[in-house]
Structure 1
């Protein structure tokens, strides 16, 4: 099931280094999209495709162009930009607010925000925050652990040992992000981010013990609020007829929100130390991303051995 969060202008002010220039009473207006508009065609009178539901960002270019318009045109265009669904205006670079904008925004109950940052900087800040809050979220059954900088999503059937394995990883110095349910969203076309639902933050359920608070037991260094999902380890109950990847060259992936994430399946069998296995898998994944491939090293060694034996066989034959 996918869901999205909601954001108010007040939350944007608190998280994107903005100040309220006008409209303190209207900060509960909702923001429904992370897209931000820098109005240009609107100051030329073109409103056919005006994205009224977006934050309207006015920088040096937009303000300078508007200042060259007549007072009547500027007043008309700014009034048309103040639609009921427009969340707010943001003025960058400590620019003065145009009087026509002040009157139009006040009449429409739309707040005006300001910042000393340039348009590019504040655009990046707002987009980063809004994408993290408004992106579609998918709830996945699993455990997310940060293992030495690698975000590992541990999946598997209920009761296979995901939480117990994650707890052992925490004891080994790694950090818990989410247990049981992981809320996942795509930060961009190549990056997935996971976090815990608010009700489950820092908590784990261990069968036979119950609910434990990881941060209370192991300290603040044992938890993280969110992490990228770089690698998936799927725990699967071992059976004699199940085939598992022995060389690590199968290249399995799992698609989550159109992002392909590398995946390995690990057989669960009595006596196996899953925490060490998953830790090693994460380290091996990290080595692969840095250009070292143990499977290729094995293939190269094998080929050299075959070639060497072939040469020795030819020499023996010649004798």
Structure 2
């Protein structure tokens, strides 16, 4: 299988996908919107024990709605579920949505992470700000977007280093399709091996996209048990993988299931009862899968997992520490820019 990163090495290397962020430095939280130019077949796989999600049940293959208009990831724990209303408002103004007679209802599944105890000012009064942040994130969506401590990843943390938002892409030249991944890393586990600079995802790195340090020469036993401080519901990695291949909802489900392995390859430990790990999948349908369809879907799912692992590492690599007292150090604070 011949594989290379896309031109941007971002989720938006998949044509017809745009990403926007909106965040608040004082709040130390934010929202990221993934907007599809046309309806996209989609599904989801939930592995963590403490998920916070919206509109995921309709993504089951047997449900009536066949496609979505956008996805939204937000900080704020359950308060952040309001972000989807802002995304819906922006899409409704643009005339997007599932047609129900003369009415249109934008289909916007979403998921949230817990960042309420990261030092930001969460005293927002009667209503949380996530609806407005979701609206702004949607309006700002484009093909180029920032990584690290931005959008939903602004307040993210991991066991050992500041978390963040990462993205990566891969072109499967043999199949003529592209897959992209985006991850917001707020994990119970660690993305790096012990106290060193090496990422668990290093074997899958393309170029020097997260420092080019390669795999750790030695994995000390203690690296398998990072010094996390578990707090129920406080740890989550949110992710999406998108392809330009034409997939059914059932095939999109298979893609999400395989892509979950990317989190396990990039974070130790992963999928714990204290994480809310969720992986969405979507297919824009611009290209047909050629040849043996089962074999092609298997290859696509495998590459999606590798691409997601890379996105996780990039999220931590690109993160910056919050400008608040007693916060986690970022990877670059400890190990430099490369």
TM over 0.5: no
Larger RCO, structures 1/2 (Cα 8 Å, 6+ apart): 2
TM-score for the superposition, normalised by structure 2 = 0.24
TM-score for the superposition, normalised by structure 1 = 0.25
Question: Of the two, which has the highest radius of gyration?
Answer: 1
